[in-house]
Amino acid sequence: MIRSVVLGCGSYLPERILTNSELAKKVDTSDEWIVQRTGIQQRHIAGEGEFTSHLAIKAAKAALANAGIDAQSIDLIVLATSTPDQTFPATAVAVQNALGITHGAAFDLQAVCSGFIFAMTTADSLLRTGAGKRALVIGAETFSRILDWTDRGTCVLFGDGAGAVVLEAQEGAGTTADRGVLTTHLRSDGRHKEKLYVDGGPSSTQTVGYLRMEGREVFKHAVGMITDVIVDAFAATGASAETIDWFVPHQANKRIIDASAQKLHIAPQKVVLTVDRHGNTSAASIPLALSVAVNDGRIKKGDLVLLEAMGGGFTWGSALVRW
Ligand code: UT7
């Protein structure tokens, strides 16, 4: 059977770092509160004139370099974002154009913080049907642009950044010893659509709007939803907390990550954590964390890597990948 094998990954973070102490000068918060409740110490903020596409292009180029392949061999770009440069065209075509690619397809996908898992699943499905041979899967966000910087309940949580992976369709034996995406599980439940949303949009208000969240409500559902789709991934493959090498969760809140890992009996040393340095970068958080763990030598070829995310919608999902 065809497997979507990871050839490389890369990421980009804007230069400007915003610390908790700096934030405490703008809104009624403290470094202590933010660290205790979320694990976040700092986040990166895109510069003036620096758009989601700019971050995505840099991450894509880094992923291509890491894979050691030419951009011209890419025939599919799936870009997950909730903060596109414009309502349309898709930010993915700006990336495609910057890479000088004029063949194949490029499109955006929107599933908020679960966007990367949804994009990876979509790319994997298309590669396995033969619709493409090599895909760039990108998560890129500039959430700083949709934050209400007077709302301490949300503005301390998010940051900007982008990450990308290159997938290639390769023949596999059809066992879990294969390299590549082994299983993916996606879920959505629109009954929760008002718990985390943006209060604007082209069709409703003709404005961009600001992020609104009932943090406690999101928190309440997060661990259960995350662990459900991971149990599904384990059931589909026979993998377990013991057999996975790395757990790379969406980075929203250290308390959610710790509680999910604990519930699943995943050893703390297998958990890749970047929320302290990146904050919640929505669809970019997983490929950013993957890049960190690949670059520092933790994730190696052949390792079994478990990914998960949960976010606005609600949407949630998991992916099990042999690197
Ligand atoms: O990417 C996926 C989507 N997002 C998430 O996964 C986020 C999920 N939610 C969370 O991570 C947490 O709910 C938060 C970090 C947002 C909040 O933590 P919490 O422990 O649920 O706190 P809370 O909302 O229950 O608020 C506790 C107190 C409140 O004060 P009172 O009512 O107890 O007097 C808040 O007003 O903390 C107050 N508070 C703050 N204090 C200082 C809220 N935000 C802040 C702040 N600094 N930034």
Neighbours of 305 (CB within 10 A): 23
Per the annotation, the verdict on 280 as an active-site residue is yes
Pocket flag, ligand 1, residue 152 (CB < 6 Å): yes
Query: Which residue is catalytic, options 44, 192, 250, 278?
Result: 250
**214 alpha carbon to ligand 1 midpoint, in Å?**
9
Kindly state whether residues 122 and 207 are assigned to the same domain.
Answer: no
Kindly state whether residues 199 and 167 are assigned to the same domain.
Answer: no
Per the annotation, the verdict on 250 as an active-site residue is yes
CA–CA dist 198, 135 (Å, integer): 30
Per the annotation, the verdict on 9 as an active-site residue is no
The residue whose CA is least distant from atom 19 of ligand 1 is 216
Kindly state whether residues 307 and 275 are assigned to the same domain.
Answer: yes
- Find tokens 């910087």 and name the residue: 149
Residue where one domain finishes, among candidates 171, 203, 235: 171
Residue where one domain finishes, among candidates 171, 204, 229: 171
Query: Which residue is catalytic, options 20, 66, 253, 280?
Result: 280
Q: Give the mean model confidence (pLDDT) for residues 71-93.
A: 98
The residue whose CA is least distant from atom 3 of ligand 1 is 311
pLDDT tens digit string along 23-73? Answer: 999 999 999 999 999 999 999 999 999 999 999 999 999 999 999 999 999
Strands (E), the chain: 2-12, 16-19, 42-45, 76-80, 105-109, 134-142, 160-171, 180-188, 196-198, 211-213, 246-249, 304-311, 315-322
pLDDT tens digit string along 156-174? Answer: 999 999 999 999 999 999 9
Kindly state whether residues 163 and 186 are assigned to the same domain.
Answer: no
Task: Please report, for the domain that includes residue 242, its CATH number.
Answer: 3.40.47.10
Neighbours of 190 (CB within 10 A): 9
Return the pLDDT at 139: 99
pLDDT tens digit string along 208-266? Answer: 999 999 999 999 999 999 999 999 999 999 999 999 999 999 999 999 999 999 999 99
pLDDT tens digit string along 281-315? Answer: 999 999 999 999 999 999 999 999 999 999 999 99
CA–CA dist 125, 108 (Å, integer): 16
Kindly state whether residues 157 and 268 are assigned to the same domain.
Answer: no
**216 alpha carbon to ligand 1 midpoint, in Å?**
6
Kindly state whether residues 215 and 312 are assigned to the same domain.
Answer: yes
Query: Which domain range does residue 263 map to?
Result: 180-322
188 within 8 A of 314, measured Cβ to Cβ: yes
The whole model's pTM is what? 0.98
Closest atom of ligand 1 to CA, residue 23 = 48
Residue where one domain finishes, among candidates 133, 148, 171: 171
CA–CA dist 78, 323 (Å, integer): 20
Kindly state whether residues 220 and 271 are assigned to the same domain.
Answer: yes
Best of 25, 30, 33, 37 for a ligand 1 pocket test (most atoms within 8 Å of beta carbon): 37
Smallest CA-to-CA distance from 261 within 239, 241, 231 is with 241
**Measured on CA atoms in the order 61, 100, 78, 57, is the torsion positive or negative?**
positive
Number of independent structural domains in the chain: 2
